[in-house]
């Protein structure tokens, strides 16, 4: 740990630093996401979340086929602004398929909460 003291922080308190991979994915997401407003919506896939329909998402990824359904649900949670639940879903995908860069992108996107 650095000897530099940060304002408002006790010297023994660890400094929380963002994972560089998440920061890069977040930055890419900020550039890409606005262009995805017209991402295809597949019929018959709407699921419930806390009594509200999440809607349908069809966001093809090159990760394992097993993670595609969970990824679509995680993106729907992200668009529903349920960031903690979306982050958990993206983290499960990253654990199941560590090479899935889009799972890390999703985790990074949950760090940006505009509202």
Residues 14-63 pLDDT 10s: 655 666 676 665 656 655 544 444 343 333 344 445 556 778 888 899 99
Is the whole-model pTM more than 0.75? no
What is the pLDDT at residue 45? 42
Which has the closest alpha carbon to 61: 28, 39, 30, 46? 39
Q: In 3D, which of 18, 103, 26, 108 has the Cα closest to residue 66?
A: 103
11, pLDDT greater than 60: yes
Domain extents in the chain: 56-115
Taking only Cα atoms into account, the Rg of the chain, rounded to an integer number of angstroms, comes to 17
First to last CA, the chain: 33
Q: What Å distances lie between residue 42 and 8, 23, 45, 55, 115, CA to CA?
A: 49, 30, 6, 9, 27
């Amino acid at each position: 740990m650095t000897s530099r003291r940060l304002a408002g922080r006790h010297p023994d308190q660890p400094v929380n630093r963002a994972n560089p991979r998440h920061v890069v994915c977040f930055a890419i997401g900020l550039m890409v996401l606005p262009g995805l407003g017209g991402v295809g919506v597949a019929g018959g896939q709407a699921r419930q979340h806390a009594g509200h329909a999440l809607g349908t998402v069809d966001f093809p990824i090159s990760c394992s086929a097993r993670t595609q359904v969970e990824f679509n649900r995680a993106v729907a949670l992200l668009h529903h602004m349920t960031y903690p639940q979306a982050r958990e879903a993206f983290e499960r995908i990253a654990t199941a398929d560590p090479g899935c860069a889009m799972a890390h992108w999703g985790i990074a996107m949950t760090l940006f909460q505009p509202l």
